[in-house]
């Protein structure tokens, strides 16, 4: 039995499959169908026949859908172009393969540019991620100390030791407050049974460190972590190193002469944190051992204080609240010193890239270098983009015919623009793929150059990938757009008749781009030379002391070398190659403390903290530092030990004495200690820093080093002798030595590193500029083939033609100097301002850079010029 | 039988002219065209509805759903002001063509 309703439902269903029909359309058609069925039924048909007849009158549903689709689709360009996209892609790929040389240069330049950007991007992402990953890092602050006296002011990262417990006790805004002691300047010995190594990453902290940084224990009881005295947490890697398969929990490990119980294991610190804690000892061990760490002592600021504020606490308001705490707890001391000490908050996330100064947070050199290298990487990419524009437009003659034919065949300008843009994008993305490989290959070298620990996997992080793809897209579009508009503008009637020549517009553009490229390259070359020049200049500067052939034994801790130092020295000096020796608390290039000094009776007016060196009588002799007034320390004067001091010239000046002679005989502190002599200023630190006022005393209680003047003969034998003596005198201790010049030059590591990075990037930039020039020379030579042929038939020599072609480019490279020199001068002067001792502006280097760029450019162009000039004119003129 | 091209060309003025008399729905429009042409013009639904929809998206007609007396839901189309103006333009053009053809087809003698 025929059911018309079911038939209509089925029919509806078949229509619903058609995507172009909406529900409303179908309803309208159904209404129409029913009207027709009614009419047929009224004419006497049975329901089934009426339904069939009505359907027959309507068209088949497919045809119907197609008709509807037509009315809805707006013959839009978007759909048509999307449909054609695969064809464009295929065309672009084919094009890339066909013009191999041209594509190779473009791809190579873009690859190098994108790889440079990729490397710097990884660097940037690493640097900005440092310490930002800690749980609730937004609420963590380091409390710096702003110290101000009549002599000056500074901001330091350390603070009063009891600050953290006080904050936690008094302020409900504080969720947790950590005290952190770093292990000091030198690695400390860690011993478990037969395993003894020196470990650099030793910290001491109170239990709140775990809460502030949100560090979870892998093993052990969090409630017991760092609570008891002489307990320690180890990183997983360190636990493995010392305990192997044994269970470290509950074991005793000897750290810097203290037996500590291992109460927990923490995860290895990731590369991107400043807290590389392998060993975290209970702070109580440290505090109870050192009397000076107890109480709000003046001048003891070795403890870092980190607080985590409760959610919603306003940091600025909290800072105002705790600002004057020192004057509550240490009022008497501060009054005596005439000092004002204030608390300043620095967000944890801004401790790596920013420095706290009296003016507030300023970008650290790290951030500045980050900006510099980001800028250079982008410049390199811009250079590569310019290459693309340059080479693509230079080849326009070859492609003019193609454009003409396509236009004649009905291609619209829009289609051509899209085609050329597609080619640019294919080139760009091809380069991106290669750049990815390049980055992976170059990353290890880059890591050691930049001195950062970036993980390879960072390259595949979505943020990195998105940024690089975005950048590639941008470069493809921007550098593809001009050639696309230029090429697609050719008029077929002109080009197909063969009357086509590139207009002056294209030539002018290419010249401008070459000048721009070389301006950038020459600027970078000059900058590189300035960096290298300054580093060399610093190393050559007289430092005021002798640093070569000074061998230093590093004693692990105080107390190994005290009143016995003369006897120990004598043991070493027995060897003929050891010419002199001195015991001291520091050597140039190493850390040195400040101590508070004042002329007797003038504490409030003249008191100041100055660099304080403890050394024996022979220090000035060993380092060949001349005494300019008074005398050096003498062994036969008993009071010279402890009760005499020597200043450097800056020291004498700092206390307001007009001449060095005037300073001799004055007394210091209330003890009082007489000033017996003044030595000539010498550089304790690298030449980035000025010479600071310094005081020297013979005080064996803090000796840490023995420095020896050794002869160059048989250095290995000398060191072996020193080691054997050391092992005999200090059995069980680890012998450690270094040379002063090596240690000192390590202070220039960041400049040397930057110089090397700069050199690498500049090389890349110059390389790209030359690639561009090479391609340009090739197409210029090609375009001028006939001209050269005519010149030759008229008697021009090969040399003359090469000169002519080379001069064409030399002109523009020379012109680039007009821009490059002032730019390099400005940048160079700015950078040199970072150094206390700086070389005079090296104009010779400017000229050198110009000559270098010119020579490289000439070499690049000559290959093409010679080829063009030696070609047989018969070949080039045959078709005329 | 009228050629496809001519049918296609005349659809729009035809619909506008029907709707200027008052709102109407698709089935009825086809019936009216058939009646008015004496059965010569037989539109199919697959031709009419797309045109109606295009006229609507061009803003010449508007539609609304209405329940008819028999309880059936129908989509009624009516002319907008823009549609009226468009009809005037179309009318002018058709009359011009008509006039030109009429003159051309006058008996030859009358031209002298």
Cβ-defined contact of A57 to B45 (cutoff 8 Å): yes
Residue A82 Cα, gap to closest chain B Cα (Å):
24
Residue A111 has pLDDT above 60, yes or no: yes
Q: To the nearest 10°, the Cα dihedral for A244, A246, A248, A254?
A: -70
Tell me, yes or no, whether A94 lies in a domain: no
Least confident of A23-27, A275-279, A391-395, A635-639: A391-395
Based on the number of CB atoms within 10 Å of its own CB, is A538 exposed (0-12), middle (13-18) or buried (19 or more)? buried
Taking a C-beta distance cutoff of 8 angstroms, is the pair A801, A501 a contact?
Answer: no
A689 and A569 inside one domain: yes
Do A380 and A490 lie in one domain? The reply is yes
Question: DSSP letter at A649?
Answer: H
Write out A150-201 in H/E/C secondary structure: CCEEEEECEECCCHHHHHHHHCCCEEEEEEEEECCCCCEEEEECCEEEEECC
Is residue A189 pLDDT above 70, yes or no? Answer: yes
Q: Are A347 and A140 in contact (CB under 8 A)?
A: yes
Residue A694 has pLDDT above 50, yes or no: yes
What is the mean pLDDT of the segment spanning A227-245?
90
CB contact (8 A) between residue B46 and residue A32? no
Residue A516 lies in a domain: yes
Q: Does residue A303 sit in helix, strand or coil?
A: strand
**What's the CA dihedral at A485, A490, A492, A495 to 10 degrees?**
-140
Number of other CB atoms surrounding residue A411 within 10 Å: 15
| Whether A330 and A384 share a structural domain | no
What does the pLDDT read at residue B112? 43
* Two structure tokens written together for A13: 């269903």
Q: What is the pLDDT of residue A58?
A: 66
Cβ contact, residue pair A63, B26, below 8 Å: no
A447 occurs within a structural domain: yes
Q: What proportion of chain A, given as a percentage, has pLDDT over 90? A: 20
Residues of A with CB under 8 A from a CB of B: 24-25, 27-29, 31-32, 34-36, 57-59, 63-64, 67-68, 70-72
Same domain, A529 and A467: yes
Tell whether the model's pLDDT for residue A337 goes beyond 70. Answer: yes
Nearest to B45 among A32, A71, A72 (CB): A32
**A150 vs A133: which has the higher pLDDT:** A133
Task: Read off the pLDDT of each residue in A455-475 and give the average, rounded to a whole number.
Answer: 87
Residue A67 has its nearest CB partner, among B26, B28, B50, at: B50
Instruction: Show which of A57, A72, A87 is a domain's final residue.
Output: A72
Q: Do B27 and A31 touch (CB under 8 A)?
A: yes
The angle formed by the CA atoms of residues A688, A694 and A699, to the nearest 5 degrees, is 130
Candidates B29, B30, B45: best to mutate against A (most CBs of A within 10 A) is: B45
Judge contact between A494 and A794, C-beta under 8 A. no
The better pLDDT of the pair A264, B67 is held by A264
Q: Select the residue of B44, B51, B65 nearest A57 (Cβ to Cβ).
A: B44
Contact A292, A300 (CB under 8 A): yes
* pLDDT higher than 60, residue B111: no
Task: Tell me what the mean pLDDT of segment A354-371 comes to.
Answer: 85
In whole angstroms, give the CA distance from residue A721 to residue A735. 12
Q: Do the chains contact at A68 and B53, CB–CB below 8 Å?
A: yes
Beta-strand pair A737-739/A550-554: antiparallel
Judge: B44–A63 Cβ closer than 8 Å, yes or no. no
* Average pLDDT for chain B: 86
Structure token digits, residue A673: 């200690």
Q: How far apart are CA A123 and CA A446, in angstroms?
A: 9
The token duo for A752 is 């040397």
Boundaries of every domain in chain B:
4-111
Contacts of B25 in chain A (CB under 8 A): 31
Encode burial over A336-371: b for 16+ CB neighbours within 10 A, e otherwise.
ebebebbbbbbbbbbbbbbbbeeeebeebebbebbe
Q: What is the reported pLDDT for B110?
A: 46
Domain carrying residue A480: 367-538+749-877
Q: What is the 3-state secondary structure (H, E, C) of A673-718?
A: EEEEEEECCCCCCCCCCCCCCEEEEECHHHCCEEEEEECCCCHHHH
Within 8 A of B57 by CB-CB distance, chain A residues are 71
CB A115 within 8 A of CB A435: yes
**Same domain, yes or no, for A673 and A754?**
no
For the stretch A643-658, pLDDT in tens is 999 999 999 988 888 8
Parallel, antiparallel, or unpaired: how do β-strands A694-697 and A645-648 relate? Answer: antiparallel
Q: Are residues A713 and A835 in the same domain?
A: no
Q: Which residues of A touch B65 (CB under 8 A)?
A: 27
Q: Smallest Cα–Cα separation from A226: which of A157, A280, A153?
A: A280
To the nearest whole angstrom, how far is the Cα of B82 from the nearest Cα of chain A? Answer: 20
Instruction: Look up tokens 């080009």; give the residue.
Output: A495
- B interface with A, Cβ–Cβ < 8 A, is 25-28, 44-47, 49-51, 53-54, 57, 65, 72-75
Query: Phi, psi at residue A837, to the nearest 5°?
Result: -115, 115
**Pairwise CA distance, residues A610 & A852, whole Å:** 48
How far is it, in rounded angstroms, from Cα A807 to Cα A814?
10
Quick one: tokens of A803? 């000169």
Chain B residues in contact with A64 (beta carbon < 8 A): 45-46
Q: Is the pLDDT of residue A262 over 90?
A: yes
Instruction: Return the pLDDT at A223.
Output: 86
* Any domain includes A68: yes
Min Cα separation A77/chain B (Å): 19
Helices and strands in chain A, H and E counts: 31, 27
Q: What would the two tokens of residue A318 be?
A: 């909290």
Residue A459 has pLDDT above 60, yes or no: yes
Output DSSP code: residue A557.
S
Same domain flag for A398 and A258: no
Chain A residues closer than 8 Å to B49 by CB: 25, 28-29, 32, 68
Distance CA A161, CA A179 (A): 7
Domain B4-111, what fold? Arc Repressor Mutant, subunit A (1.10.10)
What CA dihedral angle connects A282, A286, A292 and A296, to 10 degrees?
-10
Residue A461: phi, psi to the nearest 5? -65, 145
Q: Is residue A225 part of a domain?
A: yes
Q: Closest approach of chain A CAs to the CA of B58, in angstroms?
A: 11
List the beta bridge partners of residue A233: A264, A280
pTM of structure: 0.66
* CA-based nearest residue in chain B for residue A29: B45
Reported as a pLDDT band with limits 50, 70 and 90, residue A506 is low
Q: Is residue A216 a part of any domain in this protein?
A: yes
In this complex, the residue of A34, A36, A68 whose CB is nearest that of residue B50 is A68
Residues of chain A in contact with residue B54, where contact means CB-CB under 8 angstroms, are: 71
Residue that finishes a domain, picked among A351, A381, A409? A351
Q: Do A25 and B46 touch (CB under 8 A)?
A: no
DSSP-derived pairing of the beta strands A231-235 and A354-357: unpaired
Percent of chain A with pLDDT over 70: 92
Residue of A32, A55, A60 for testing the chain B interface, max B β-carbons within 10 Å:
A32
CB contact under 8 A, B26 and A58: no
| Residue of B4, B27, B42, B67 to mutate when probing chain A, most A C-beta within 10 A | B27
Per-residue pLDDT at A71: 47
Kind of pairing between the strands at A258-266 and A231-235: parallel
The Cα–Cα gap between A253 and B107 comes to: 126
CB under 8 Å to A583, separation ≥6 — which residues? A561, A565, A568, A569, A615, A616, A700, A703, A705, A706
List the structure tokens of A665: 């005989």
Judge whether residue A424 has pLDDT over 80: yes
Six-digit token pair at A768? 């790209």
Residues paired with A202 in a beta bridge = A279
SS3 assignment for A335-369: HHHCCEEEEEEEEHHHCCCEEEECCEEEECHHHHH
Task: Summarize pLDDT for A816-860 with one digit per residue, the tens.
Answer: 888 999 999 998 888 888 787 888 888 888 888 888 888 888 888
Note whether B75 contacts A35, CB cutoff 8 Å: no
Angle at CA of residue A9, ends A3 and A10, nearest 5°: 90
Q: Residues with Cβ < 8 Å from A86, sequence gap 6 or more?
A: none
Partner-chain contact A25 B49, CB within 8 Å: yes
Question: CA triplet A839, A843, A848: central angle to 5 degrees?
Answer: 115
Residue A378 is assigned to a structural domain of this protein: yes
**Residue A565 shares a structural domain with residue A683:** yes
- Please tell me whether residues A577 and A623 are part of one structural domain: yes
The rounded distance, in Å, linking the Cα atoms of A51 and A39 is 11
Closest residue in B to A60 (Cα–Cα): B46
Same domain, A415 and A453: yes
Domain end call among A72, A90, A112: A72
A149 and A288 in a single domain? The answer is yes
* Whole-number Cα distances in Å, B32 to A84, A735, B41: 44, 113, 10
pLDDT at position A183 is: 58
Mean pLDDT of chain A: 84
pLDDT at residue A555 is higher than 50:
yes
Does the beta-carbon distance from B44 to A59 stay under 8 Å?
yes
CB atoms A29 and B73 under 8 Å: no
Rounded Cα gap, residues A436 and A430, in angstroms:
10
Identify which of A862, A839, A858 has the alpha carbon closest to the alpha carbon of residue A850: A858
Q: A84 vs chain B: nearest CA distance in angstroms? A: 27
Res. A710 pLDDT band, cuts 50 70 90: very high
Specify the DSSP class assigned to residue A295: S
- State whether A64 and B26 contact (CB < 8 Å): no
Q: At what angle do helices B45-57 and B26-36 cross, to 10 degrees?
A: 110
- Of the candidates A135, A167, A170, A177, the one whose C-alpha atom is nearest the C-alpha of residue A307 is A177
Six token digits for residue A112? 């190098």
Q: Do B51 and A71 touch (CB under 8 A)?
A: yes
Q: Which residues contact A531 (CB under 8 A, 6 or more apart)?
A: A751, A754, A755, A758, A831
Domain count, chain A: 4
Partner-chain contact A67 B46, CB within 8 Å = yes
**A62 contacts A48 by C-beta, under 8 angstroms:** no
Compute the distance between CA of residue A94 and CA of residue A111 in angstroms, rounded to an integer.
19
User: Same structural domain for residues A779 and A867?
Assistant: yes
Check pLDDT > 80 for residue A320.
yes
The residue among A71, A72, A75, A76 with the most chain B CBs within 10 A of its CB, best to mutate, is: A71
- Asked whether residue A61 carries a pLDDT value surpassing 70, the answer given is no
| CB contact (8 A) between residue B46 and residue A34 | no
């Amino acid at each position: 039995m025929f059911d018309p309703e079911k038939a209509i439902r089925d029919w509806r269903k078949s229509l619903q499959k058609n995507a172009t029909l909406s529900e409303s359309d179908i309803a309208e058609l159904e209404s129409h169908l029913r009207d027709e069925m009614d009419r047929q039924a009224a004419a006497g048909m049975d329901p089934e026949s009426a339904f069939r007849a009505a359907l027959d009158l309507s068209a088949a549903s497919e045809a119907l859908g197609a008709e509807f689709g037509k009315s809805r689709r707006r013959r839009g360009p978007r759909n048509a172009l999307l449909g054609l996209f695969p064809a464009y892609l295929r065309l672009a790929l084919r094009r890339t393969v066909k013009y191999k040389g041209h594509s190779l240069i473009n791809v190579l330049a873009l690859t190098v540019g994108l790889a440079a950007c990729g490397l710097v991007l990884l660097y940037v992402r690493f640097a900005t991620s440092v310490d930002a990953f800690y749980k609730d890092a937004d609420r963590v602050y380091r409390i710096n100390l702003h110290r101000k006296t009549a002599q000056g002011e500074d901001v330091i990262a350390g603070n009063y030791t009891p600050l953290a417990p006080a904050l936690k006790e008094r302020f409900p805004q504080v969720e947790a407050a950590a005290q952190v002691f770093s292990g000091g300047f030198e690695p400390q010995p860690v011993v478990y049974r037969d395993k003894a190594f020196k470990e650099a990453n030793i910290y001491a902290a109170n239990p709140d460190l775990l809460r502030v940084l949100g560090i979870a224990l892998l093993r052990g009881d969090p409630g017991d972590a760092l609570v008891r005295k002489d307990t320690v947490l180890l990183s997983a890697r360190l636990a493995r190193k010392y305990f192997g398969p044994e269970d470290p929990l509950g074991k005793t490990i000897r750290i810097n002469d203290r037996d500590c119980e291992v109460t927990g294991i923490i995860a290895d610190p990731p590369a991107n944190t400043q807290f590389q804690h392998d060993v975290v000892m209970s702070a109580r061990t440290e505090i109870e051992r050192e009397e000076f760490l107890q109480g709000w002592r003046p001048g003891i600021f070795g403890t870092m204080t980190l607080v985590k504020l409760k959610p919603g606490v306003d940091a600025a308001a909290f800072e105002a609240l705790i600002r004057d705490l020192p004057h509550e707890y240490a009022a008497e001391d501060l009054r005596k010193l005439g000092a004002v000490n204030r608390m300043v908050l620095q967000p944890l996330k801004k401790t790596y890239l920013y420095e706290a100064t009296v003016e507030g947070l300023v970008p650290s050199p790290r951030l500045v270098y980050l900006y510099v290298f980001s800028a250079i990487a982008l410049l390199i990419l811009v250079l590569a983009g310019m290459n693309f524009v340059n080479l693509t437009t230079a080849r326009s003659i070859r492609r003019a015919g193609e454009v003409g034919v396509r236009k004649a065949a009905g291609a619209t300008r829009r289609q051509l623009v899209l085609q050329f843009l597609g080619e640019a994008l294919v080139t760009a993305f091809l380069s991106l793929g290669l750049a990815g490989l390049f980055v992976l290959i170059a990353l290890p070298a880059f890591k050691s150059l930049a001195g950062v620990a970036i993980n390879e996997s960072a390259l595949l992080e979505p943020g990195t990938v998105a940024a690089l793809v975005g950048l590639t897209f941008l470069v493809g579009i921007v550098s593809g757009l001009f050639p696309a508009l230029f090429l697609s503008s050719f008029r077929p009637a002109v080009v197909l008749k063969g009357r086509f020549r590139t207009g002056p517009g294209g030539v002018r553009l290419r010249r401008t781009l070459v000048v721009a490229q070389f301006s950038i390259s020459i600027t970078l070359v000059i900058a590189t030379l300035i960096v290298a020049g300054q580093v060399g200049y610093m190393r050559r500067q007289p430092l005021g002391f002798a640093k070569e052939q000074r061998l230093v034994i590093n004693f692990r801790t105080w107390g190994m070398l005290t009143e016995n130092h003369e006897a120990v020295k004598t043991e070493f000096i027995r060897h003929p190659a050891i010419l002199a020796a001195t015991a001291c608390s520091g050597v140039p290039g190493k850390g040195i403390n400040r101590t508070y000094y004042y002329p007797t009776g003038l504490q409030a007016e003249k008191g100041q903290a100055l660099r304080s060196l403890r050394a024996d009588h022979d220090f000035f002799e060993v380092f060949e530092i001349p005494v300019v007034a008074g005398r050096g320390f003498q062994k036969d004067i008993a009071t010279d030990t402890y009760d005499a001091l020597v200043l450097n010239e800056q020291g004498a000046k700092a206390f307001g004495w007009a001449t060095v002679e005037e300073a001799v005989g004055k007394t210091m502190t209330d003890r009082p200690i007489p000033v017996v002599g003044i030595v000539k200023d010498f550089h304790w630190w690298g030449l980035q820093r000025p010479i600071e006022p310094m005081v020297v005393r013979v005080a064996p209680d803090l000796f840490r080093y023995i420095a020896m003047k050794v002869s160059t003969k048989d250095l290995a034998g000398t060191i072996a002798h020193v080691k054997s003596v050391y092992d005999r005198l200090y059995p069980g201790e680890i012998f450690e030595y270094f040379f002063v010049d090596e240690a000192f030059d390590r202070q220039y590591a960041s400049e040397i590193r930057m110089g090397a990075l700069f050199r690498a990037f500049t090389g890349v930039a110059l390389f790209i500029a030359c690639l561009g020039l090479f391609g340009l020379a090739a197409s210029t030579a090609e375009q001028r083939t006939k001209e050269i042929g005519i010149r030759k038939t008229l008697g021009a020599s090969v040399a003359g033609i090469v000169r002519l072609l080379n001069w064409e480019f030399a002109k523009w490279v020379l012109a680039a100097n007009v821009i490059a020199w002032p730019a390099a001068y400005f940048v160079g002067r700015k950078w040199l301002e970072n150094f206390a001792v700086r070389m005079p502006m090296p104009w010779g280097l400017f000229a050198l850079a110009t000559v270098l760029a010119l020579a490289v450019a000439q070499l690049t162009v000559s290959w093409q010029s010679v080829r063009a000039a030696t070609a047989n004119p018969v070949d080039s003129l045959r078709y005329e | 039988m009228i050629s496809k091209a001519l049918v296609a060309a005349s659809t729009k003025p035809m619909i506008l002219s029907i709707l200027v008399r008052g709102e109407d729905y698709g089935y009825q429009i086809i019936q009216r065209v058939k009646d008015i042409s004496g059965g010569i013009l037989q539109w199919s639904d697959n031709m009419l509805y797309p045109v109606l929809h295009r006229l609507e998206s061009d803003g010449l007609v508007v539609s609304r759903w209405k329940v008819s007396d028999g309880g059936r839901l129908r989509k009624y189309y009516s002319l907008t002001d823009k549609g009226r103006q468009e009809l005037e333009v179309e009318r002018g053009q058709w009359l011009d063509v008509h006039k030109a053809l009429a003159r051309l087809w006058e008996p030859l003698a009358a031209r002298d």
